[in-house]
Structure 1
Amino acid sequence: MDTSTDKKKDNLTEEDVARYLRNHPGFFLKHEDLLADLKLSQDRGKAVSLTERQASILRERNMEMRTRLSSLLENAQRNDVLFEKTKALILALVDARRADELSNAFCQHLTENFQIDAASVIVFGNPVVSNSRLRVTTESEASAHIGSILKNNKAICGNLRESEIQFLFGERNVDKVGSAAVVPLHRDRPLGVIAIGSRDPQHFQSSMDTLFLGYIAEVINRCLPRLLKA
């Protein structure tokens, strides 16, 4: 008598049984009579057959997969809408024939299509009187007001001081800006700065990804020098 084999059988664990069944998914096809004897208890204590339990699990997984698919479709639709809005903005920037047209296009698209409460483009140069949204100021004047924003030449997000908000968006828009995102413009030399603001103090935070605004800034960096020369 092989006692070692008997001892090994006696030492079988639940994990061994589960592993065997997982490796032999057709086991119950050969032993259908066992299915009728297997019972599983639900939360309410009612016993159900293995087949009923399997059907219940499959229904739950099916509902979960439908929820995931619905979420993916919603994200795809949102991405499509965002792509179309971004494309329209980029084309408007590229089609601008003057710097003030570029500024007006930027501010209009951001406030109308991207749920932004305030937007501005500030260009470094000799100040001129204009009815457009383009603001022109000297680099030294900008440094005096937003020097901490310009010094790293990187996009920043978060809460700004009232004096910074006033310089970037104008005195009449101070109440519209609780938080903001700002990107310095640079193409071989400092060109200016773009800024967008929200009434919500938590909308723009320092941890936010600035990829989108940085992308828009790159487009303006390439268009603006040509327009300023014109």
Structure 2
Amino acid sequence: MDSASPKKDGLPSETEVARYLRNHPGFFLNNEDLLTELKITHKTGKAVSLLERQVEVLRERNMDMRNRISSMLDNAQRNDLLFERSKTLILSLIEARRAEELSNTLCRHLVSDFEDIDYASLILFADPKRVGGNSLRVVSPEQAQNQIGNLLRGKKSVCGVLRGEELSFLFGKHADHIGSAALMPIQPGNIDGVIGIASKNPQHFKSSMGTIFLEYIADVVNRTLPRLMKGPFL
């Protein structure tokens, strides 16, 4: 039932006209001449015909759709590239024959193959006298806890702007050049460790960003590194 007040001049109300047009979408097909007579105020203040306004709306929607499709294609291309580079990295890690080689391979590929990753490190927390090598960085669990204990507390990936002492521990002499960083705890065998990646761009790694890629790489390291380590950590 129409709740609109009846018109004193006997003409239908706006509500009634709108309902009629909705129920008869082909009305203007039989009355095309009205399309050029109806005027609609454009947002610029200029009055245009209904037909012109419809064309403009369709053009705007078409442009929006094209932008969305273009964005989807760009994302698909980036994902394809990320997949190929991830595959290359994983195959290289699998082929490593020593823990030091795996560490070097991991850091080298992360920096050279992935966009906006300028520095990378792999650090294991264990007794340096029992585990380690010329280029495999191993620090005591106590030192790691003192330096980056806050970052390891949740045993989850961390992304964002880190403190100076945390960056120094993770990336050494490169700390002053880092704008943002991300790290992922790892546990190869029965020891702990961390993978760190960093960018010169302060806006690249944010706390809101996804960490699926980091978790994926960490899982690969957790599976491949133990077999390369000597002593009780096999």
Offset at residue 107 of structure 1 (A): 0.6
Offset at residue 26 of structure 1 (A): 0.8
2:38 touches 2:50 (CA, 8 Å); kept in 1? yes
Cα distance in structure 1, aligned partners of 2:152 and 2:43? 61
Offset at residue 188 of structure 1 (A): 6.2
Offset at residue 187 of structure 1 (A): 4.7
Distance of aligned partners of 1:198 and 1:47 in 2 relative to their CA distance in 1, 3 Å threshold: closer
Cα distance in structure 1, aligned partners of 2:184 and 2:214? 7
Show the counterpart of 1:162.
Answer: 164
Cα distance in structure 1, aligned partners of 2:128 and 2:170? 15
SS of the equivalent of 1:154 reads coil
Distance of aligned partners of 1:140 and 1:16 in 2 relative to their CA distance in 1, 3 Å threshold: same
Matches within 5 A, 1:34-73: 34-42=34-42, 47-73=47-73
Give per-residue Cα distances to partners, 1:138-191, cap 9 Å, x unaligned.
223322322222333221123333332222222x22223233212221256333
Matches within 5 A, 1:30-179: 30-42=30-42, 47-114=47-114, 115-127=116-128, 130-132=133-135, 134-170=136-172, 172-179=173-180
Offset at residue 12 of structure 1 (A): 4.4
SS of the equivalent of 2:145 reads helix
The alignment status of 1:210 with 2:179, answered yes or no, reads no
Give per-residue Cα distances to partners, 1:185-221, cap 9 Å, x unaligned.
1256333111112223343333333222122111111
- Number of residues paired by the alignment? 222
Show the counterpart of 2:3.
Answer: none
Cα distance in structure 2, aligned partners of 1:141 and 1:180? 20
Structure ranking higher in helix proportion: 1
Offset at residue 122 of structure 1 (A): 1.0
Distance of aligned partners of 1:219 and 1:13 in 2 relative to their CA distance in 1, 3 Å threshold: farther
Root-mean-square deviation (Å): 2.8
1:116 touches 1:198 (CA, 8 Å); kept in 2? yes
Distance of aligned partners of 1:66 and 1:201 in 2 relative to their CA distance in 1, 3 Å threshold: closer
SS of the equivalent of 1:148 reads helix
The normalised TM-score by structure 2 is 0.80
Cα distance in structure 2, aligned partners of 1:39 and 1:151? 65
Show the counterpart of 2:29.
Answer: 29
